Structure 1
């Protein structure tokens, strides 16, 4: 299994820890899920690559502006199932790449593929708006 470069828009399989799980005292995710890399940068102080990922879920959003639905053609392109899915844009996990929480998918790969640029830009903008408004939950892993 080759480890991909952590580029923005890449959808990876990760043991994502939800904010509600962390608030309940959990340290580990219940199971791995697809997540989109929103930000990837090399930290000057120590040279580590830090990534922010937004989770992908089958659960419809409860609040307007907190998620963006992934079009069926994009899901097919990524090799995800055909159930409706959303990228959550009001919480992220942050970790040093590659970290301990990456997990291979059914094909033995860490990555599913890259989101189309227009879709990624919408997701990124929504995450940034959540951060600006103070509504972004950030879990350090």
Structure 2
């Protein structure tokens, strides 16, 4: 899992989301995926919950963004942080 954030992360450590995706899901214009902060944990936990309808799928990120994030994680050999809660 990588975080989606609106904080001012460095463009070098994050990937912007397409405007259509941001608009479709009512996200902040500053929304970015932070690829250098990978987390490993069991779904569903106290900080990550299912949507209002009980579904664990909130939105599907475009495949080109997923591929870009995955490539950056591999290229930079990012080690996931194991979360227990």
TM-score by length of 1: 0.49
In structure 2, the partner of 1:138 is 80
Show structure 2 runs of 5+ residues with no match.
none
Q: Report the structure number with the largest CA radius of gyration.
A: 1
d(CA) in 2 for partners of 1:95 and 1:62?
25
Structure 1 residue corresponding to 2:22, chosen from 75, 96, 103: 75
CA contact (8 A) 1:54 1:93 kept: yes
Across the aligned residues of Structure 1 and Structure 2, the Cα RMSD in angstroms comes to 2.2
Q: Deviations over 1:56-112 (max 9, x none)?
A: 111232362x110111112233x142422110011111013334432245xx14432
Question: Residues 63 and 118 from structure 1, CA distance in 2 versus in 1: closer, same or farther, beyond 3 angstroms?
Answer: closer
CA contact (8 A) 1:93 1:139 kept: yes
Show structure 1 runs of 5+ residues with no match.
1-52
In structure 1, the partner of 2:40 is 94
SS in 2 for 1:96: coil
TM-score by length of 2: 0.74
| Structure with the bigger percentage of helix | 2
SS in 1 for 2:65: helix
CA contact (8 A) 1:91 1:138 kept: yes
In structure 1, the partner of 2:60 is 114
User: RCO greater where, 1 or 2, for CA within 8 Å and sep 6 or more?
Assistant: 2
d(CA) in 1 for partners of 2:22 and 2:11?
23
